[in-house]
Amino acid sequence: MAFLDGKSVLITGGTGSFGKAFVASALKSSSPRKIIVFSRDELKQHEMQQDPRFAGVENLRFFLGDVRDVQRLRRALTDVEVVVHAAALKQVP
């Protein structure tokens, strides 16, 4: 993922299965300036911050919000060059 080198990246749904895998892969295979994990679940953000793969990573930021909240999303997008949209509402029967 060399295309992320030096870039500021926002990933919506960053605490989900795909989001966490993407962040781990991006941190391992590239040198992004900043990765912002954008999600609406504060507990999942806390758990991700405690995960050994992500704990103490200086260029990893967490931003609480919902993609349906336009003002919050605009704020999160400040200075972002790459967006990975992985947010979803799951309804498992």
The domain limits of the chain are 2-85
Q: Which of 15, 83, 22 is nearest to 51 (CA)?
A: 15
Global pTM exceeds 0.85: yes
**How large is the C-alpha radius of gyration of the chain?**
13
Q: Which CATH number fits domain 2-85: 3.40.50.720, 3.40.1160.10, 3.40.50.300, 3.40.50.1820?
A: 3.40.50.720
Amino acid at 12: T
The reported pLDDT for the residue numbered 91 is: 76
Q: Please count the other Cβ atoms lying within 10 Å of the Cβ belonging to residue 48.
A: 21
- pLDDT grade for 61, boundaries at 50, 70 and 90: very high
Q: Which of 60, 71, 69 is nearest to 9 (CA)?
A: 60
